[in-house]
Amino acid sequence: MSEASFTFRVDESLKAEFTQAAKTHDRTGAQLLRDFMRDFIQQQQEAAEYDAWFRHQVQSSLDSANAGRLVPAAEVEAKFSARRAATRRRLEASK
Distance between CA atoms of 30 and 3, rounded to whole angstroms? 13
Domain range summary for the chain, segments of one domain joined by +: 12-70
Closest among 28, 8, 26, 9 to 18, alpha carbons compared: 28
- What does the pLDDT read at residue 93? 94
Residue 95 has pLDDT above 90, yes or no: no
- What does the pLDDT read at residue 66? 97
Distance between CA atoms of 56 and 20, rounded to whole angstroms? 46
Which pTM does this prediction carry?
Answer: 0.69
DSSP 40-69: HHHHHHHHHHHHHHHHHHHHHHHHHHHTT-
pLDDT digits 0-9 by tens, 35-61: 999 999 999 999 999 999 999 999 999
